[in-house]
Amino acid sequence: MTVFNWQFALEHVPEVLKGVPITLLIAVVAILIGSALGLAMALARIYKVRVLHEVIAAFVSFIRGTPLLVQLYVFFYGVPVVVDWLNESWALGWDAHSVSPLFYAFVVYSLNAAAYTTEIFRASINSIPGGQMEACHSVGMTTWQGLRRVIFPQMIIMALPNMGNIFINLIKSTSLAFAVKVVEILAISKMLANQGYNFLEMYLVAAVVYWIICILLEVLFHVTEKRLSLYKKKEITV
């Protein structure tokens, strides 16, 4: 019977923690870019922009209906093939094979976040009474001014709980990035485990690290939600 090697696990915790910055970087970049794209796509769907409305609906359906790991593989192995074809057809001279795997992770995770934030923002905006925008127009505001000054602040408060869940899920799903050669928490744990075949020890360390990060984020989002809700109540009282 194999004995769990606590010494091996504890000794390699600092090395596993070296992957935390990459894990956080992927998630932060994804939520920032994904939120910006998601908001733009949500508005395009709400205002039913011709052609874009249907394209965005198909994009959201595809991303939400396919596994993230498959998306990583398709992008990581598919983009170089497409670039090589373009090079042969148009003599462009692009070199997709020298692109950092981290770049592919940024793109895929950002697109994935965009698909989910699109629906969150769309639902949040649609839940705000339409009379508020009419009131904005009645006092001389443009549609963009009404969105920026009245609609978006309310949307952020309503969307924050779901956005927190998406960010935490992004943190956990970065563990799939090792499949496209990104060296993050799980990739480091796997490499260390291969050294002494201590897979249980290192995967447990990785699990605890992810768990602690998620707990800290849950606390952060809870405090933020509480403060925003107090601000909203104060605003209503005034």
Tens digit of each residue's pLDDT (9 = 90 or more) over 120-164? 999 999 999 989 999 999 999 999 999 999 999 999 999 999 999
CA pair distance 196, 5, nearest whole angstrom: 10
The letter for the amino acid at 89 is: S
Topology of the domain covering 6-237: MetI-like fold (1.10.3720)
Whole-structure pTM value: 0.92
pLDDT band at 96 (very low <50, low <70, confident <90, very high): confident
Tens digit of each residue's pLDDT (9 = 90 or more) over 197-233? 889 999 999 999 999 999 999 999 999 988 887 766 5
Query: CA-CA distances (angstroms) from residue 31 to 68, 112, 117, 130, 165?
Result: 15, 9, 9, 28, 11
